[in-house]
Structure 1
Amino acid sequence: MFEAHGSFKTTIHNNVLLVDIIGPWNLETALNYERHISQITASLVGAPWAMITDLYDWELYTPDCYPIIHQLVNKCIENGLHREAVISPQKSIKRRPFEVDRAHYPQFSRAFFIDYPPARQWLAEQAFFAPDR
């Protein structure tokens, strides 16, 4: 096993999970993220919740991270995640891993934004209230 590369910051505000993804990720970071998200979202399970994911400081991940993150997102959706606002530069390759079809989860939708205020507004229109930044 290798040392984790990259990091993340998380905060929960009401029924919204705020996530900042930072640096280049390897498998160890993805596994740490999976454990952390499972723990921190336990208090949200049982009611609809949302997420804002900020990718501006992310430098992508190694291919072995994909199945871990893919399964984690599915688990989050099954545990009440209804909306995800992803913030990244427009036309960025960083969006590619998030452009996965989730048609088998009709209660879930994801939208992409280049800045925090419109992401926050989109969620507020659906009764998910994130703090000002």
Structure 2
Amino acid sequence: MLEIHGRWKIKVTDKVLMQWFADSWNEEAIIAYVKEFKAAAAPLMGSDWAIISIFEQWELGVPEIEQHVVEHCEWFKAQGCIKDCHVYRPSAVKEMQLEKMIPHTEQGYERAVFDNLNDAINWLDSEGFSLNQDQFLYDIIKSET
């Protein structure tokens, strides 16, 4: 097994799973991340919940991650995730890979993309998912840029 290439942080607050991604990812990273995600999301099971993902420092992934991401997204939708938002400055390359892997809005699930964290937090709030510990996201962005 190869060394993990890719970094992430996950925190759950109320009914929102907050996460941050950085670097370029290999298959070992996505496997380790999914395991950590499922453990972190366990308290959310059985109710409606949301995800906010910060992709500012993410630098894409090797093609081998794509099937893992597709399966991961199907899993979290089946577990009650109904709102999903991504935050990253406009990037055709990021958008191309993310749009290929991540599900689009469909019955019972809505995904939105924002170019700044404030708009993403406001959207979640308007959808009934208030982040009263959003400082976690601001701290990550500030410390990692």
- Measured against the shorter chain, the TM-score band is over 0.9
**Number of residue pairs matched by the alignment:** 132
**1:3 and 2:3 are equivalent in the alignment:** yes
The alpha-carbon deviation at position 93 of structure 1 amounts to 1.8
Where do residues 54-69 of structure 1 align in structure 2 (5 Å cutoff)? 54-69=54-69
The alpha-carbon deviation at position 98 of structure 1 amounts to 3.0
More helix by proportion, 1 or 2? 2
The alpha-carbon deviation at position 97 of structure 1 amounts to 3.2
Deviation string 1:32-78 (CA, Å, 9 cap, x unpaired) is 01101111101101001001111000010000000101100110000
**1:14 and 2:9 are equivalent in the alignment:** no
Aligned partners of 1:11, 1:101: CA distance in 2, in Å?
22
Deviation string 1:62-119 (CA, Å, 9 cap, x unpaired) is 000001011001100000100111001124321223324546x511010010110100
SS in 2 for 1:56: strand
Aligned partners of 1:101, 1:34: CA distance in 2, in Å?
16
Name 1:77's counterpart in structure 2: 77
Name 1:121's counterpart in structure 2: 122
**Runs ≥4 in structure 1, deviation > 3 angstroms?**
100-103
SS in 1 for 2:41: helix
Q: 1:91 to 1:6 in 2, by over 3 A?
A: closer
Indicate the RMSD between aligned Cα atoms, in angstroms: 1.4
Residue identity over aligned pairs, in percent, reads 23
8 Å CA contact retained: 1:15, 1:48:
yes
SS in 2 for 1:52: strand
